[in-house]
Amino acid sequence: MIDVGTQIAHGALRAYVMGQRGADNEPANADDCVNMARLVEEALRAGALGFSTSRTPLHKSKSGELVPGTMVDPAELYAIADAMSRVGHGNFQFSPEHVRVPIEEWPWMRELAQRSGRPVSVNLSQTDQSPDLWRSVLELLTQAHDDGIPIYTQVAGRSIGIMYCMQGSAHPLLFHPAYAEVQNLPLAERLIALADPVRRERLLNEIPNDGGLFQKIVFDKLDGMWIVDGANIDYEPSREDSIGGIARRTGVNPMQLIVDQLCRDDGNGMIYAPFFNYSYGDLSMAYEAHRHPHTRMGLSDAGAHCGAICDGGMPTFMLTHWTRDRTRGPRLPLEFIVHRQTRQTAEFYGLHDRGLIAPGMRADINIIDYDNLGFDVPRMAYDLPANGRRLVQHGQGYKATFVAGVQTVDNDSFTGQLPGRLVRGPQR
């Protein structure tokens, strides 16, 4: 339906060139670096829009191993940067361990951007462990551009968080033995089991003998969980309205609030739990970061962590929350948010044929009913290969969408037209 582009991924590249050594994160030798650089050059010339790697310990295989490339020496990355320099296009993007960015990562980032001449893009998020570190990164970002070095940070449109639900891959009850005993039952049978008075009593009052894991994962996070009670979710809620806040205010057992909410609507109830960008209890970090001239919109996770994160509605949220509905801080201009999600992003990836309504440009156009723009409650769909699950959230208020002049949406419904194509390399 829409155009798609791709980057060459470091993990697959390493495994292809180095075999098991690459998958095991062993150091690359000189020949390995030459071969990886050659393939990156081939990929970019074939149409890849850039190169991506991961340097965060959060990204692991199902068996707990770090993804290939996580801890590589910068020399391996410099070889790839030299390939990008030879081609003359493409972005270098990576996911960092946030606390390491300003001290350990920034020197090689500057070197890589200088020697390649290509933009280096790094995720910028706020963590509860270092809630003000992002400010230091933005200061370094300003200095880099003062020095003519093209480093940018990608910033999410809101907090990055999980939608807890019983059909999802994460929710608080998963860590309780009274739930584990029935978690593999079909949903309808599971709800019956959870309504059993004895089991419910255990869920509400039994403390798991797990060395404090349940305390850490659930009880210590009650002020960071919010009940989702309808469409147009409040993604900037107050601490007073959290499950912890409600429990203190009403005297209700917080586990009762959790169990009741997850069982609501035939087991489709949801709880929102942000884990990045909400250390201040609001979206002031995101507001400030988006206003910095050298940050870019990103990090929606719309295609990742499909059973726990639902960010497909992020573009709609950017319009509704930041330009129209925000009450807990200043808003952002509509034209700024539109530019942020269209022309600015397109130019960043070398796609200069789109992102503007002008003669000669691609006719990629959304016609919206601004006053009625919104989105539905997320729901779980089982339409991925092998009946895989994904959280989906449909937007409302889209009168029409055109892709390259072909109408793909008519009054919030898909027309069935599929004009999208694979984008190969920069576009003029």
Closest among 378, 381, 375 to 398, alpha carbons compared: 375
The proportion of the chain whose per-residue pLDDT surpasses 90, expressed as a percent, equals 96
Average pLDDT, the chain: 96
Determine contact, residues 22/68, Cβ cutoff 8 Å: yes
Instruction: List all residues 6 or more positions away from 423 whose beta carbon is below 8 Å from its beta carbon.
Output: 3, 4, 5, 47, 49, 351
**For 287-301, how does the pLDDT look when each residue is reduced to its tens digit (9 = 90+)?**
999 999 999 999 877
Partners of 51 in the β-ladder: 8, 92
The answer to whether residue 68 scores a pLDDT higher than 70 is yes
Mean pLDDT of 186-193: 98
Residue 299 pLDDT: 86
Give the model confidence (pLDDT) of 88-122 as tens digits. Answer: 999 999 999 999 999 999 999 999 999 999 999 99
CA atoms within 13 A on the CB side of 233: 28
Q: Are 179 and 173 in contact (CB under 8 A)?
A: yes
How far apart CA 193 and CA 199 sit, in angstroms, is 7
Give how far Cα 253 sits from Cα of 25, 65, 202, Å: 46, 38, 13
Beta-ladder partners of 94: 53, 122
pLDDT(42) > 70: yes
Above 70 in pLDDT, residue 186? Answer: yes
Residue-wise pLDDT for 198-228, tens only, equals 999 999 999 999 999 999 999 999 999 999 9
Evaluate if pTM is beyond 0.85: yes
Amino acid 384 reads L
Query: Would you say residue 415 has pLDDT above 90?
Result: yes
Report the candidate in 94, 112, 107 with the shortest Cα–Cα distance to residue 143. 107
- Residue spans per domain, the chain: 162-276, 304-428
Whether the CB-CB separation of 199 and 178 falls below 8 Å is answered with yes
Q: Distance between CA 148 and CA 163 in Å, rounded? A: 41
Question: Is 289:125 a contact under the CB 8 Å cutoff?
Answer: no
Q: Do residues 2 and 351 lie in contact, with contact meaning Cβ atoms separated by under 8 Å? A: no
Q: How many residues does the chain have?
A: 428
385-to-1, 182, 427 alpha-carbon distances in Å: 18, 26, 32
Give Cα separations from 2 to 195, 373, 383, 398, 405 (angstroms).
45, 21, 19, 15, 12
What's the pLDDT score for residue 302? 67
Residue keyed to tokens 């900037």: 236
Tokens describing residue 399? 């009168």
For residue range 238-281, list pLDDT tens digits in order: 999 999 999 999 999 999 999 999 999 999 999 999 999 999 99
Residue 34 CA to residue 44 CA, distance in Å, equals 16
Take residue 223 and report the two structure tokens written for it.
């002020």
What is the 3 state secondary structure string of the chain?
CCCECCCEEHHHHHHHHHCHHHHCCCCCCHHHHHHHHHHHHHHHHHCCCEEEEEECCCCECCCCCECCCCCCCHHHHHHHHHHHHHHCCCEEEEEECHHHHHHHHHHHHHHHHHHHCCCEEEECCCCCCCCCHHHHHHHHHHHHHHCCCCEEEEECCCCEEEEECCCCCCCHHHHCHHHHCCCCCCHHHHHHHHHCHHHHHHHHHCCCCCCCHHHHHCHHHHHHCEEECCCCCCCCCCHHHCHHHHHHHHCCCHHHHHHHHHHHHHHCCEEEEEEECCCCCCCHHHHHHHHCCCEEECCCCCCCCCCCCCCCCHHHHHHHHHHHHCCCCCCCCHHHHHHHHCHHHHHHCCECCCCCCCCCCCCCEEEECHHHCEECCCEEEEEEHHHEEEEECCEECEEEEEECCEEEEECCEECCCCCCCECCCCEC
- pLDDT given at position 230: 86
**Rounded distance between C-alpha atoms, residue 192 and residue 138, angstroms:** 51
Q: What is the pLDDT of residue 41?
A: 98
- Of 154, 207, 202, the closest CA to residue 181 belongs to 202
Instruction: Give the pLDDT confidence of 3-21 residue by residue, as tens digits.
Output: 999 999 999 999 999 999 9
